Amino acid sequence: MSTVKKSVLFIQGGGGEEDHAADAKLADSLRKALGNAYEVHYPLLLDESAPDMGRKKQIGNEIARLKGEIILVGHSLGASMLLKYLSENRGKEKIAGIFLIATPFWEGSEDWVKGLKLKENFADNLPKKVPIFLYHCRDDEVAPFDHLDQYARKLPQAIIRVIASGGHQLNNDLRLVAKDIKAV
């Protein structure tokens, strides 16, 4: 008798092969901590010449490939683009949980940031009754820690995990994230 593994989709930070390789350590840590009951999908997302770098389309394609309920995990840009995708697209009924790590809160009026920014009412359009977890290290050198405060205000239902140290990559240790995923 075969058992069906739970699907986890991990979306990398940044774009391109170098960022994918850097976040592979996070994906591997999550895979190891979750064990055999879960299958962690870690696709390579490349930058496209679209305002959102093609991320919304790529994330939608990856979600569509997976069967049954899925757990979404994103790191850095990948986390913010998961929020953008989920708040601007349909087809969210198969999401079991959303886990966002070191998520930047994009602001400003520069052309390059326009495709990354969330709409003012983004929180109203996220899947209802789906747990959202936010993780951020106090010593994050890439996504400032105060970005977590902005998300906490916009997403009061989210479970916030403040981590004392570990930098932007959480020391490549996602055991805390895995523990929360297993509890969902």
pLDDT digits (tens, 9 = 90+) for 43-59: 998 888 888 888 999 99
Note whether residue 166 is domain-resident: no
- Residue 112 has a pLDDT of 81
Q: What is the predicted pLDDT for the residue at 115?
A: 84
* 123-169 tens-digit pLDDT: 999 998 999 999 999 999 999 999 999 999 999 999 999 999 999 99
CATH code, domain with 60: 3.40.50.1820
**What's the pLDDT at 33?**
98
Instruction: Flag whether pLDDT at 1 surpasses 50.
Output: no
Q: Give the residue from 31, 72, 79, 76 showing the smallest Cα distance to 175.
A: 31
Tell me the residue range of the domain where 92 lies.
6-98+105-131+175-183
**93 pLDDT above the threshold of 80:** no
Number of compact structural domains in the chain: 1
Is 161 among the domain residues? no
In a domain, 52, yes or no: yes
Domain contains 159: no
